[in-house]
Structures are given as structure tokens and as C-alpha cells.
Structure 1
């Protein structure tokens, strides 16, 4: 008789109940184990993300600002032998590489070779101390030095004699038209005020200090008032620039923040935005100030625009996909930044994409160096760039299954995939650029200004700044001296017919053939 047969029915029931409890406990432990494994996986992912954020923070604080990429295979750097134990000597291989590269000729610096001929000369003749009477001059030695005459204020007086005829009729000459009607400042002073703030980035309070050193105490409120009056004169020209830019069929757009004082926000500034539009072919820049970064700004400004619109990956611009008269073009530079930041996370994959993009940019550089037109650039891209773009697209579609979406390399891959067709749009027209860098270059003066005058005094002040940035930014693209331009148009705008405002825009501007304003000797 075995042991089991000696157990009573009640004992068997207890054993079964204990076995059932053990099975339940086992299932609970297995569930807890699975949960812990899941939690471990999540913690590992979170750890990876935190490490990536730490690397990004170190990069911002300590790293270089430039985004230059040097492939590991070509980086000729020394490495430190940190491994334990003896290291075998690495044989040195020598390789001779010969290639040709176009080098831009540096601008000649006039120091030892003489100064530029357009600079005025002041001759100082120094005779010998000896008596030269009876001597014959056989030549002279000329020694040049470069000096500076500080800026100076002066008062221009318009003296208008009064005459009376035999018929007792009075006659007096009319005053010349001035930028600010019945205003104190002349065009030279107004141009200097604008130039100093928006080119030299001197806020008004620093200009006040400088004018005081020149012998005239001008309150900052006066400078602000004169600047506001100038912008009222310049506003019709700004509207003409806007119309001219929107009549083109290829525009790049980007946005940049600007702090603005707001009476409704005591103790803090409002975050406004300059939306910057760049017409590539006509070389015009338009700054459009908006109080926010929403879609209302570009939607309103571009409601009648037709053509290519090149943007970064900001989602606001996706609203234009539904319009048949606008073709969105992507920016390779923005996509490239994600992969450059992913080098610390997944060097192999990130380097692969960066090398592809490096080859694509090399093709664009070659087109610029050869000064190719739109048609020739289109042919070059079809022959050499399109196969590279197809390889990159296939690689992205394959690797998206292998990367973690929240990792740095995953963010780069999943950022580019839905935008790839926009980025590849530059292949379809030789006039299009591979990236949005031209409009980003136009934004730089705003970034420099933020570091100096820090904020705009009001929303109206930010709009006035947009007027000046637009005109001076367009001058820069056309190689026009902004100071000369401002002096000229401030004199001409009050009398310029509305239907001829286009003549004063930088692409069409020619200095007026008018009598120069009298200057002190």
C-alpha cells in the first residue's frame, strides 16, 4: 500500500489547494519578472536618452559651433594608448595624394603696397631746414600714413534772401525737401543713426553718449522719434519691396525670435518673430514681424504667392502642401544637423549619411566653381546627384526598422523620411538651391542685434526694425554701401512718385544725379 493511498481525502484537498496557490504565486512572479524586464528595457532607453542629452549639453557648452564633419577614415589625428598592456608598433604607411583645388584669391590688403586710390590725400610738404635758395629740385620722396578724422556734427543753415519787386510782390526761394518735414536732423545724421543701430549694432543709449562726446546732447527719445519718422518715410518703399519679392517664383523662408517689451507682461519680454523671406533670383530680403510663430503670418503674406517655397522642417509650412500653386522644397542642411548630432549615438550610421551628403554638396560646389547656369546644373544633378539620393532613400527605408525611434540616430532617420521628397525637389529645377542657408545668412544681423540692444521696445518698434532690416539686407546682397543708399533715398523718397518706387529698390537703385548737400570744409 503506497503513501498516497494512506492520505485522507481532506489532506489531498489541502495539497491541491497548496499546489494551486503555488501556481498562482508562480504566475505572479513570472508577470513581475516580465514587468521588470520591460522596466529594465525602458530604463536602458531612458539612460540612452539622458546620455544623449548630456552629450548635447556638453556640445553646446564646450563644443565647437561649426558643423564641420571630417570622416574617421580621413581624420589624421593622434590617439592615446589607454589600453592596458604593451602595444605593438603600428607600421607607418605613406601615401602621396595629388589633386587640384580652386583657391579664392584673397583680397589685397593695402599696407605695404600702397593705400586705395579712392581715399583722399592730404599733402604735407616738409622742406629742408637748410637754405634752399639757388638749389635745383631733382625729385621727392613720398611717405604715406593712414589716419582717421573722427565724425563731427555741424549745423547746415539754409539762408534764403527775401526780395520785393516794384509791384510790392515778395519773393523767396522754397526750402529743399527734407526727410522729416520741419525736422531738425539732416539726411546724413538720420542715415548715421540707422546705420549705427542696424549695421554697427549700437543701441540708442550708446549713440547718445557718442553725440555728447561730439558736443551735442541729444536725448534718446529724440533719436527714437527721428527713427520712427524715418521709418514712416521708408514704409512705402518697404511695401514696394514686398510686392517685388512676392512676384518672383522662388522664395526661401525662415523665422527667428526677437524679444519685445510688452506692457501687458510686466517684468518679462514677449517672444516675437521675424519671418524672413528671400527671393533668390532677384536678391531681395523681406522681414515680416509677427507676434507669434503660428501659421497666420506666412498664410497671410503668401496668400497670392505662386512658385517654389523652400523651408526647413517646421510643421507650419505643411499647410502649403494643399495648394496647387506652391511647390515645397526642403533643406538638406537642416536634415544634416540631425545626423551630425547623432555621431556620438551611432557613429556608423550617422557617418554613412554624412558622407552621402558630403558628396552631394561637393557636386553643388563644383557647379558654383564652374559658374554653371540653371540648365547645366540640372543636367549635372541628374547625372551624379540623383543616383546618390536614390541610394540614400533606400538606405533610410531599410534602417528605419533597425533604429530606436527615440535615439539620436532614430530621430534623424524619422525626421528625414517624411521630408525626403521635399529635400529631393532641388533635383527637378536647376535654379533651386540644395539648402536654405542663403536666408539663414540674411538672419544673422538680427542675432547680432539681439546681443547688443537685447530687445525691441514695442511691437511697433519691431515692425520698424523689419523695414530697415529688409532694405539693408537687400543692399548687402547687391553689394551696395548701406550708408550711401540711405542718404540718397531719404532725400528722394518724399518726392518720389508712387508708381516709380521700384526704382529705389536695391536691384534697380542708381544714385541720383542731384547737387550734393553742402558740407563743411
Structure 2
């Protein structure tokens, strides 16, 4: 075998170094899955509790040791007597305005055989139990009298109530409940059909699958109005999350994406597009933006290209920057811990802002006075790491620092604009409904069905953001949308609906049934 040249030996060593680093990353990942915490939050734990891959599980320190005991000053606790008027604490776990209460009277055996004149009821004690019926469905039986006037001999009968879906025997309360069960509680229609059958209601599953798109069609103009409101926002956040929608062949589904867009007035829309192509950013937001517009995203290059094309400010996310460092800490724990400490200081300043309830100029001043110097020192520290160590493509930690350095301008936007968040976590929390839904319904059989998912989830999540009960909202707007002026459809978006109609919403006939 021919001897290797010095250059070949150097290349071979470099290749082996990269392979070792990759293998170490894999081992560190497995260690973290078995023994470590999964959160990126920097929570300091007791020394010696981290297991080592390859050790027996019995090698992990015993967690059953007794807790440390701390002596506290003695005190006298006063015992409070419970009133006899029934106002006990057990009544506090439910809302009597929303939950039906069935009273069960319990006889006192001490008065058996006594005349009412022989005793006096001086009070009562009340306790509550949470119960459940097999089904919560109700049949509304409309009885319409047919009358004959004796003077004119004419016969008349009132017309049957009109359903929000023409010709349907579904009450608006059922349609609203079906929507909420499917999209808020992730119960697919086949499960709802089973529940109906078990409750003694015989309808076909096809009836449910036809009823749903008819209801969503009524909500689509409201979704479009909400999207217009988001597009007019000065500060917007955007992301993308995958979904399988539409058949690609026998046993295969197409890979597609939801592109959630979050507006500055706490509104969100889940826009469905068939791919992750960069052109969909322009499709979602358009080419015109308000003066001083800001788009906040992760590091996907499509957003930077859109910002450059439209001239808006591109803010980036510190949580994604922190995640890059977090993923590299197993390889270089010392420097990674330093970087995480720098970023953690920025987040502690944001916590201080929230605790003090600062906004506008006061929020910007605190960021300028405290956060901006920290960020400047952090980026100087990053430059020092590269000056001292050079750039090693195989180093995950230096790769993470390179990611942050390249996005410095976007990461610093929030320091000068109080309306911009430090990260896109508010958007990521809002889009959790999509991966949660995927765990239940797995995929959408058609692309139209995926679009309907986006429409309904846009309204439900926005209801949550504005502390609105989605069921009450849908019962109202499904009835109101057909009689509301098309020019004012924006008033039916959850944010404005809360201002105009939440105090006196439209109800189902079920609301008056006792």
C-alpha cells in the first residue's frame, strides 16, 4: 500500500475529526433524550443527577431520599367556622351561569315521623359533585299550531324556523358545537358520529361531512376580513408549519404547509399553500405594507428576500438564535453556557418589562438603557470567539454563533421598536393547534379541507387570544352573518365582535329551553 502524502493525511484527519464530532453530537442527543431535560429554559438542577449513557439505570442517584427539613417559627392558626347558608368553597369550581345545576334534596332521618310543627329548619349545607350524562345533545321539537279562523274560514300555520344552513335539520347550536369539537378539541367527525350514535341519534356520517363545509363557507368572509386587518398591521409575525393534504397517489398524501400570520392586534390567520416556496410570503402579505412596517420571523431565507423586495424592516427571533446555541451545548458546554447566559440576561429584562407593565416610550427606554448594552457586548464576545478560534465548519457551536452574527441587524430591531417582540414565541404558541390537530386527524383528505381547517382555526385561536368562548361566538356569527351588511363584515371578526356584540349575543332556541 502506497504511503500517504502529508496533504492526504491532513485531509483524512479532518474527515475523521468531522465524523467524531458528528458521532459525539448523536451520543449527546441520546443522553439528553434519556436523562436530560427537553426544554431550552436554563433551569439549574442539583449536582450529580445527570445520568451517563452506558451506565445502568440503577447508577442514577436515588431520588427517594427524604426532603430537607427547615424549621419555621411557631404560630397560632385561628380556625374559621363555616357558615350555614351554603356559601362554602365547594361552590367555586364552576360557573353557575354556564353549567346547569340539578338539585338533589337529601332528607334528614332525624325528622322521620315528626310533624313539621315539631322542628324548625335553621339553615342548610351545600356540597357539589361533578356529574356527566351519556350525551349532551338535545332535540328541539317545534310545535306549530294550525288554526282556522271562524270568521274568514282561513287556515294558517306559522312557518318553521329557518336553519343557518338551508334545508338542514341541524340547529345553530349543534353546528357551533360540531365546529368547536372538531377544531378546538380535535375530535374528528367519525368520533363525533360515534358519540351521536351512542346517544341515540341516528344520522349518517355523510350528513356530518356535508354540513361542515356548508358552515365553514358562512365563516369564510369573516376570515378574509380578519386577514385584511392583519395585512394592515404595522408589525406582523410569520412562520410555516407542515401538513399533509390531498392525495399524491395510492396510499400517499401531498406535503403542504400552513403559513400563520400574526397581526399587532392579536389576530392570526392560517393560510394554506401547497408548498414552502418563498413566493407564498408575497401571496400572503402582498407587496404593499404600512409605513414603517416590520415583519418578524425565524431565519428562513424566503422572509429576508421578501423584506428586501418590499423594503420593510425584517426583525428576527432570539428564541431561534438561543435554540442553535442550546443544541450545540453538549459539544462545547463551557462557551455555550456563556452564550446562553448572555441571551438569558436579555430575556430577564423582558420579564422585568412585563412585570412593570411598561409600553411605548417607557418600554423602549428600558430596552435602550439595559438590553442594548448587553446585546452589544454579546456580539463583541461573538467576534472575539471567531478571532481566537477561527471558523471551523465542523464545530456546531461556531456554526450557531455564525447564524447569530449573520442575523445581527434583525435581532437588534426589537431594541429600537417597542412594538416588536424579542421573539416569535407568541406566534409559535398560537400555531400549536396545527401540530396538536395532526396528532388526531393526521392529514386532510383534500386541499379544500385543509383550507377549511385554516379558516376555522384562525377564528378559534383569535377567540382564545381575546378571551372569547368560541362556542358562543360561532352560535352568534353563524346567525348574524346572513343579515349583517357585507360592507361591515369586519365587525364579525372576534376582536371587533367582542366590542359590538359580545354583551348581547344571538342565541339558539335551545337557550330558552329549561
**TM-score normalised by the shorter chain: which range applies?**
0.7 to 0.9
Please state if 1:394 is matched with 2:380. yes
1:69–1:340 contact (8 Å) kept in structure 2? no
Match of 1:196 among 181, 188, 211: 181
Match of 1:155 among 123, 139, 145: 139
- In the aligned structure 2, how far is the partner of 1:49 from the partner of 1:491? 59
> Residue in 2 aligned with 1:19?
none
**Residues 240-389 of structure 1: pairs in structure 2 closer than 5 A:** 240-262=225-247, 264-280=248-264, 282-303=265-286, 304-306=288-290, 307-389=293-375
**So what's the TM-score if we normalise by structure 2?**
0.83
- In the aligned structure 1, how far is the partner of 2:507 from the partner of 2:24? 68
Deviation of the 1:474 alpha carbon: 0.1
> Residue in 1 aligned with 2:103?
123
> Residue in 1 aligned with 2:77?
none
Please state if 1:503 is matched with 2:491. yes
Deviates more, 1:402-411 or 1:313-322: 402-411
Deviation of the 1:217 alpha carbon: 2.9
1:49–1:407 contact (8 Å) kept in structure 2? no
- In the aligned structure 2, how far is the partner of 1:61 from the partner of 1:446? 27
> Residue in 2 aligned with 1:217?
202
Deviates more, 1:376-385 or 1:388-397: 388-397
1:335–1:415 contact (8 Å) kept in structure 2? yes
1:260–1:457 contact (8 Å) kept in structure 2? yes
Unaligned runs of 5+ in 2: 53-87
- In the aligned structure 1, how far is the partner of 2:311 from the partner of 2:156? 61
> Residue in 2 aligned with 1:231?
216
Tell me the secondary structure at the aligned position of residue 329 of structure 2.
helix
Please tell me the root mean square deviation across aligned C-alpha atoms, in Å: 2.6
Deviation of the 1:363 alpha carbon: 0.3
Deviates more, 1:468-477 or 1:502-511: 502-511
Tell me the secondary structure at the aligned position of residue 509 of structure 2.
coil
Decide which structure has the larger Cα Rg and report it.
1
2:90–2:128 contact (8 Å) kept in structure 1? no
> Residue in 1 aligned with 2:450?
462
2:476–2:505 contact (8 Å) kept in structure 1? no
How many residue pairs get aligned? The number is 462
Match of 2:13 among 29, 40, 51: 40
Deviates more, 1:356-365 or 1:499-508: 499-508
2:326–2:336 contact (8 Å) kept in structure 1? yes
**Residues 45-60 of structure 1: pairs in structure 2 closer than 5 A:** 45-60=18-33
- In the aligned structure 2, how far is the partner of 1:160 from the partner of 1:133? 46
1:478–1:506 contact (8 Å) kept in structure 2? yes
- In the aligned structure 1, how far is the partner of 2:317 from the partner of 2:506? 46
Deviation of the 1:59 alpha carbon: 3.5
Deviation of the 1:514 alpha carbon: 4.6
> Residue in 2 aligned with 1:208?
193
Match of 2:509 among 488, 499, 517: 517
**Residues 59-78 of structure 1: pairs in structure 2 closer than 5 A:** 59-60=32-33, 63-70=36-43, 76-78=46-48
Rate the CA distance shift 1:211–1:62 in 2: closer, same or farther, 3 A. Answer: farther
Please state if 1:433 is matched with 2:421. yes
**So what's the TM-score if we normalise by structure 1?**
0.82
Deviation of the 1:334 alpha carbon: 0.2
Deviation of the 1:57 alpha carbon: 4.8
